[in-house]
Amino acid sequence: MDMSALLDQVLVFLFTFTANLFASVSGGGAGFVQFPLLILMGLPFATALGTHKVAVVFLGIGALAKKNKSNQYTIDKAVGLAMLLLGCPAVVAGTLIVINVPTHAAELTVGFVTIAMGLYTLFKRSFGAQGLAHRSHLRFALGCLLIILVGMFSGSLSSGAGLFATMTLTLVFGLELKRAILHTMIFVATIWNAVGAFTVGAVTAIYWAWIPVMIIASFTGAYVGTSLLMKLPVGKVRVIFSLVAILSGCLLIYTAQH
């Protein structure tokens, strides 16, 4: 391996580890850093998307490995089934369906919505502090609809699905913030991205040369990040979630205009 290839591997490890560390604490946002940097390092859009999705699977696996050592949070079975039965087909649909919206317009819209979401959670101190004691049928139905939309979003764009999934799980399904983040790591980061990676891999190439180092970085970043998540008070997790959302939205708007 020459020095240039070695330097690329080091850079890929550093930005992948950092992106997945913060994503595992905040419940999303890895794609806002990881995906555009893969493109900046020379990968075509479709190849970068597939490579990103393969690596991010191990974000969820790293978080799950840490969760298995702590029984602090349990899986909500109804929510889990909805994310599997409704979310997975939506991911495939989002990956395969061509949406007739200019890419920069979609990125700008998502960017502004993400910033608004971050500001809302930053100033709403009660966000995710306590789980909902009772979930109505209407609330569950609305949550299922949003799961489908977020799943399609996860399949069609590279960034933001984890943050929106965490918002849906907290605000609509009524999960406590830390519990919502762990659901996002398991179902969105691991299962949805595995489905998306398989779908993208079937129709385009994946840059396998960087996959091993990205897997190691994703797994270790998620493991360390989930360790922090378990220890941090929910108020600090809320602030981190808010700041990651605001920064992610700003980055998305910036990249949409360049």
What pLDDT score was predicted for residue 53?
Answer: 81
What pLDDT score was predicted for residue 69?
Answer: 56
Neighbouring CB atoms inside 10 A of 71's CB total: 7
What CA–CA distance (Å, rounded) separates 20 from 226? Answer: 10
pLDDT in tens, the chain (258 residues): 677 888 889 999 998 998 888 888 877 777 777 877 887 788 887 788 778 888 888 887 887 776 655 555 688 999 999 999 999 999 888 877 644 455 566 667 777 888 888 898 888 888 888 878 788 999 999 999 999 999 988 876 656 788 889 999 999 999 998 889 889 888 988 889 888 888 777 777 788 899 999 999 999 988 888 888 888 888 888 888 888 888 878 877 876 676
Q: Torsion angle of alpha carbons 155, 158, 162, 168, nearest 10°?
A: -60
State which amino acid sits at residue 55.
A
